[in-house]
Amino acid sequence: MIYAACLGLLPERPNPDLLDSHNLIPETKYEDLIRVERVKTEGSLNDLLRRLNSRDAISPRKLSMLWLAYGNSGSTSIRTAKVTLPNPGFARFDAGPNVVVICSPDNIHDTALLWNLRGANGDSTPLPIGIPSSEVTPDLLRQLMHEPGLSRNGFPVNDLYVTSASLSKAEICTLIGEDISRVGIASYEEMLHLGYPGTLSRNEVLVWNKGETQFVPLPPDAHRSLFVHGVMSRTATMYADVCVLDSPFPEGPDVRASMLSAVFAAGEYSTNVAHSKRAEARSLSWPSSLLMARTVASRRGFELQESEPGRAARVLLAGLSSLSEIGNLAHAPLLQMLEEMAARQGFGWYKNRLRNIGLKADPIESVGPTTDELPEKTFNEFKKSLGNSDKATKSWLLWAEKSHLILKGFQLVCDACDAKQWLPVAGFAPPIVCRGCAREMPAPFGDRTNVEFRYRLSERLRRVYEQDAMGHLLVARYLYLILEAGRKGRLIGLHPGMEVREKGQGKLEGEADVLLFTRTAEFIPVEVKRTFSGFTEREIGKLDHLASFLKSPWSLLASCQYGKDAGEEFEELSKHSAIEGYSRVVLSYDKLLGRPFWAINSDPFEWNPLSLDEIKKREQQFVRNLIDRVDNGRENWMAKELLNPPRRV
């Protein structure tokens, strides 16, 4: 059975009915097309390895997979044994094809597992291979680790993995009898993932317009070469599978959504293609990341709805080119100033009065209902929060104005009634009418020879503070930079402010301040508070309930304060296992306002509060980055590398 799973079996002769259905002569023999050598085997591991490594002959299995793509290519990167976040697919990617299946006597499940593992890994190397359970020894596994044909895929944690469908991980450990260096043990669920089916594959650049595009299932040149003699089979049916590399559909065992003649499943779009239309362009609609998340939620019996803070955050993000641009707000003195600008005019006096009687005012509770009631700030006031640098302040204000976060304007005084009014630059269009007496102001600037511009928050930024959603954006930026690392990133979507309910029910199961949606169809909830004191037992219980409802492998707590101001109880909210990684992450300004970098064997979520000197150094670096943007025209790595060559020692 192991030989059959690894090498395949060639019948004595082709099936005449199958030949006829493919428009071939029913009397055709294998020998008419290829040279067949039928041999007897010795039934040993060395003999099987010799045949799998042979370049003189091709096995029936390999013959059936020629020129076809396969699903699992393993990882070519440097891996580490340190587990940060739960990753159920790590063992499979670390192993690649280097898998040994322990086969119990006459167990068809083990044979099927071996057959599928070889198909999923391309059937081009001596492994995956099967070993009878009665013959497994540590020395035999060590021998396989030194097999010349072993796949060398990157820098693995383990050179070899052992699995079985009939034995549990604990039973495999008992059977082997000892721990073997660089040999991992995994369940068959961890190791088997068929991925994409065997296909004729190609990569193509598609032009999209609002989620719509067109593609050709089978280009004319390929169509002609395949069907030069007409349809190859009366029973053959063509399916076109499309996977969008930078916007994949989530993969999960319970994720399957049908749409007319197509289906979304296994990370791709699959549709039946009629023979007469295989070389014709056809339309393709691709769902947004939010629609993907709602689709998966619907299949699991619950629904997602955007909350008011989520809507405010989404509107602000719509004006930015990327979520990473929130990094221009990641500066504590600047955030404090913007928060004060969101409060009604005169709130500073009210706050001082409360302070005198021992009370503390919350600026968020007094956010102005419109931008007309917001205070104005001068250039010099912004300058104080940006290291007293003219260049940095000009750079930041220019970005904020272009991003529609800040309004630039000036004050006018009516010479008839002395009423004051603030007018944005974009709204300056004579004649100017006084809001106090409704008269036209023929000389709105009086005898002034210059105008001092002042700045207010725009409506989209005011709404963010009104809904207390600035922390949502800072957390979203950090997680985006950490987890959305190009095509191999973990995320499909990252959504600030999501309410979760059972399907068709009005009861709210929970609200995630940020909801992460991963490529493996996992939902990760995040809870954000302005201060550490907000994480009461009740609030943490609500997050745990939501994580349980969503079956989330981990969750996250974030506070918009520096860790130096937190007590030990906040750090203790973090939960980490050396085997499974984090089940709950805690973050503060120490991480959220920095530029994250996930190095090998490092932990981007490690609790490590900054000192006052380190905070000051970071704030100075933020200002220097703004100055560099002015000097280099725009901030980019190429300008920095070319204009600042490394020092020679």
How far apart, in whole angstroms, are the C-alpha atoms of residue 287 and residue 248?
A: 10
Distance from the Cα of residue 359 to its chain's centroid: 43
Would you say 440 and 431 are in contact if contact means Cβ atoms under 8 Å apart? yes
What's the whole-number mean pLDDT along residues 481-503?
84
DSSP result, 242-259: E--TTSPPP--TT-EEEE
Q: What is the pLDDT of residue 124?
A: 83
What's the whole-number mean pLDDT along residues 104-119?
93
Q: What is the pLDDT of residue 108?
A: 94
What's the whole-number mean pLDDT along residues 512-531?
93
In the block, residue with structure tokens 């970071």: 618
Tell me the residue length of the chain.
649
Q: What is the pLDDT of residue 350?
A: 42
Q: What is the pLDDT of residue 192?
A: 84
> Residue 352 pLDDT more than 70?
no
Beta strands in 96-211 (DSSP E): 99-103, 129-132, 160-163, 183-185
What's the whole-number mean pLDDT along residues 630-642?
64
Would you say 632 and 639 are in contact if contact means Cβ atoms under 8 Å apart? yes
Higher-pLDDT residue of 81 and 214 is 214
Phi, psi (deg, nearest 5) at residue 240: -105, 125
> Residue 95 pLDDT more than 80?
yes
What's the whole-number mean pLDDT along residues 245-266?
85
Q: How many CB atoms lie within 10 A of CB 332?
A: 18
**213 is written with which tokens?**
């595009």
What's the whole-number mean pLDDT along residues 575-592?
91
Taking alpha carbons only, the member of 95, 105, 190, 180 closest to residue 143 is 180
In the block, residue with structure tokens 């082709």: 14
Would you say 608 and 602 are in contact if contact means Cβ atoms under 8 Å apart? no
Q: How many CA atoms lie within 13 A of 361 on its CB side?
A: 20
**Of the ranges 69-73, 161-165, 390-394, which one carries the lowest mean pLDDT score?**
69-73
Q: What is the pLDDT of residue 619?
A: 93
Q: What is the pLDDT of residue 349?
A: 41
How far apart, in whole angstroms, are the C-alpha atoms of residue 271 and residue 157?
A: 39
Residues 6+ apart with CB under 8 A from 30: 10, 13, 14, 36
How far apart, in whole angstroms, are the C-alpha atoms of residue 566 and residue 559?
A: 9
The helix or strand, by DSSP H or E, that contains position 420, with its residue range, turns out to be strand 420-424
pLDDT band at 150 (very low <50, low <70, confident <90, very high): confident
pLDDT band at 354 (very low <50, low <70, confident <90, very high): very low
Distance from the Cα of residue 383 to its chain's centroid: 36
How far apart, in whole angstroms, are the C-alpha atoms of residue 339 and residue 475?
A: 17
The helix or strand, by DSSP H or E, that contains position 491, with its residue range, turns out to be strand 491-502
Residues 6+ apart with CB under 8 A from 132: 2, 102, 103, 105
Tens digits of per-residue pLDDT, 157-190?
899 999 999 999 999 999 998 889 899 999 998 8
Taking alpha carbons only, the member of 299, 255, 121 closest to residue 193 is 121
Q: What is the pLDDT of residue 111?
A: 95
How many percent of the chain have pLDDT more than 70?
86
Distance from the Cα of residue 157 to its chain's centroid: 23
Tens digits of per-residue pLDDT, 428-458?
667 777 776 767 777 666 656 667 788 888 8
Question: What crossing angle do the helices spanning 390-402 and 612-631 adopt, rounded to 10°?
Answer: 70
Q: Is the dihedral of CA 490, 493, 496, 499 positive or negative?
A: negative
What's the whole-number mean pLDDT along residues 630-645?
65
Q: What is the pLDDT of residue 371?
A: 55
Q: What is the pLDDT of residue 469?
A: 92
Phi, psi (deg, nearest 5) at residue 235: -100, -5
In the block, residue with structure tokens 């600008």: 341
pLDDT band at 341 (very low <50, low <70, confident <90, very high): confident
Rounded to the nearest 10°, the torsion over CA 299, 301, 307, 311 is: 10
Would you say 373 and 457 are in contact if contact means Cβ atoms under 8 Å apart? no
Highest mean pLDDT among 37-51, 68-82, 107-121, 187-201: 107-121
How far apart, in whole angstroms, are the C-alpha atoms of residue 194 and residue 241?
A: 15
Taking alpha carbons only, the member of 539, 549, 620 closest to residue 573 is 539
Distance from the Cα of residue 276 to its chain's centroid: 39
Q: What is the pLDDT of residue 171?
A: 93
pLDDT band at 556 (very low <50, low <70, confident <90, very high): very high
What's the whole-number mean pLDDT along residues 283-289?
90
The helix or strand, by DSSP H or E, that contains position 51, with its residue range, turns out to be helix 45-53
pLDDT band at 580 (very low <50, low <70, confident <90, very high): confident
**521 is written with which tokens?**
């169809």
Task: Give the chain's mean pLDDT.
Answer: 84
Buried-state track 455-481, b at ≥16 Cβ within 10 A, e below 16: bbbbbbbbbbbbbbbbbbbbbbbbbbb
Q: What is the pLDDT of residue 347?
A: 47
DSSP label of 152: -
How far apart, in whole angstroms, are the C-alpha atoms of residue 113 and residue 311?
A: 47
Higher-pLDDT residue of 635 and 308 is 308
Higher-pLDDT residue of 531 and 71 is 531
What's the whole-number mean pLDDT along residues 217-230?
74
**Of the ranges 155-164, 366-375, 578-587, which one carries the lowest mean pLDDT score?**
366-375
Would you say 178 and 157 are in contact if contact means Cβ atoms under 8 Å apart? no
Higher-pLDDT residue of 203 and 166 is 166
> Residue 228 pLDDT more than 70?
no
Domains annotated on the chain, with CATH = 2-191 (no CATH), 212-287 (no CATH), 327-464 (no CATH), 465-627 (3.40.1350)
Highest mean pLDDT among 148-162, 363-377, 428-442, 615-629: 615-629
Strands 575-577 and 581-587: antiparallel
> Residue 410 pLDDT more than 80?
no
Would you say 117 and 194 are in contact if contact means Cβ atoms under 8 Å apart? no
**CA angle at 309 for the pair 514 and 405, rounded to the nearest 5°:** 105
> Residue 476 pLDDT more than 80?
yes
